[in-house]
Amino acid sequence: MIDKTAARTAAFARRQAAHDPNAATAGYLSEVLAGYRGVPLAGYMAMRTEIDPTPAMEEAAAHGPIGVPVIMGRGQPLQFRTWEPDCPLVKGEFGAMIPQTGAWMTPQILIVPLVAFSRSGGRLGYGGGFYDRTLEKLRAAQPTMAIGFAYAAQEDPQLPLEPTDQPLDLIVTETGIITP
């Protein structure tokens, strides 16, 4: 098995090659979320070459609360601020865009960005552990679904996983839906 640094480097290259900011890539994500209308969910504001969940989040916002992650500090779980289409955004930690104002919320579904995934539900993130800590905390309090959203090219069957890595319940790509 390769180490996480090498796996991330290879995965970033695959994601960069797959990234097309003008392509409609959230169709399958919209399809999945339509089955959970009204359930509080959190997405993310895409950065760099991440696949963009915003179109699916905009559709879901008509049916229930949507949040986006706010980094509170290194080593801490994420918090989620309510988001609505066209709400004013400001730069948060690490350059992530967050709502300028809004109430805090607790999602039951998380759309999770990633660097690489495996069909078995493994996820390789950026290395800060934010989503692992957050999912562990949320899942200890209530059932919480983690939907990995990525380009199909980000799949890696040989992910170097650790016991603290939280599994994905579903993976959605621009080409389909994968159930681990």
DSSP line for 101-150: S--EE--SEEEE--SEE-TTS-EE--SS-HHHHHHHHHHHHS--EEEEE-
Quickly list H helices, 35-88: 54-61
The structure tokens listed for 18 are 């797959």
Q: Residue 24: pLDDT band by 50, 70, 90 thresholds?
A: confident
Q: Residue 96: pLDDT band by 50, 70, 90 thresholds?
A: confident
* Nearest-angstrom CA–CA distance, 137 and 179: 23
Q: Residue 3: pLDDT band by 50, 70, 90 thresholds?
A: confident
Which amino acid, residue 104? W
CB of 37 closer than 8 Å to CB of 63: yes
Instruction: Give me the pLDDT at residue 94, please.
Output: 82
Percent of the chain with pLDDT over 70: 99
The pTM score is 0.94
| 1 pLDDT more than 70 | no
Instruction: Give me the pLDDT at residue 64, please.
Output: 96
pLDDT digits (tens, 9 = 90+) for 117-153: 999 999 999 888 999 999 999 999 999 999 999 999 9
Instruction: Give me the pLDDT at residue 2, please.
Output: 57
Q: What is the mean pLDDT of residues 19-30?
A: 92
Instruction: Give me the pLDDT at residue 135, please.
Output: 97
Q: Which domains, and CATH codes, for the chain? A: 4-101+116-178 (3.40.50.10420)
Question: What is the overall mean pLDDT for the chain?
Answer: 94
Instruction: Give me the pLDDT at residue 161, please.
Output: 87
